[in-house]
Amino acid sequence: MSTTTTVSATTQPTSSLARSSKFRAFAITFSISGPVIYCLVQYFNYPLVTYWPAIGRLVWGLEAARPNSGPNMLWYGWTLTTIIIAGALGIIAMLVPERIINKIPLWLVWLFPILAVPYVVYSLMYWWRLAARQ
């Protein structure tokens, strides 16, 4: 697992953000919790906003189908909800003692997005069923 040859030019991080242990806590917590929160938000359907592109209507929360309004879009709302919740968890993590944050396994950062894929595929069953009927 050596990547030293490609990164050897780098010595100490030049950015103060990259040297900050608080930012480390925020970034790791945000990125680990983000994929999980996104799946939960999408499953329980908690969009922060609903957008109606045909009529340019933007409303808080979930707004179900309305007559003569065209399709609604929830993805913006799911993404915003995820960013807010993951951001809040990240801020909380900044307040937690560093020794506790250091115990979080870093491999969760890449494992959770992979584990999210089967759920995402399952959540799109509507499309796959329609395709199978053809």
Partner 1 sequence: MSGIISTNTFWTLWLFAHLICALGLLGALTHQAMAVALPVRKPAAGIVARFRAVPAAGYATAVCALYVIVFLIGSFIYTQYRVAIRIPLEAEHYYKTGGFFDFKEHMAAIGLVLLPAYWYFWKNAQNPEYDNARKGVTLVLAVIVWFLFIVGHVLNNSRGFAS
Enumerate binding residues for partner 1 (CB under 8 A): 1-7, 9-13, 15, 17-18, 23-24, 26-28, 30-32, 34-35, 38, 42, 51, 53-54, 70-71, 73, 75-76, 78-79, 82-83, 86, 90, 106-107, 109-111, 113-114, 116-117, 120-121, 123-124, 126-128, 130-131, 134
Tell me the backbone φ, ψ of residue 51, rounded to 5 degrees. -115, 135
For the beta carbon of residue 42, count every other beta carbon within 10 angstroms: 21
Residue 63 Cβ, how far from partner 1 at the closest point, in Å? Answer: 15
Among residues 9 and 65, whose Cβ is nearest to partner 1?
9
For the beta carbon of residue 11, count every other beta carbon within 10 angstroms: 6
Whole-angstrom Cα Rg for the chain: 20
Among residues 55 and 60, whose Cβ is nearest to partner 1?
55
Distance CA 91, CA 28 (A): 11
Residue 61 Cβ, how far from partner 1 at the closest point, in Å? Answer: 18
DSSP H helices in 45-107: 75-95, 98-101
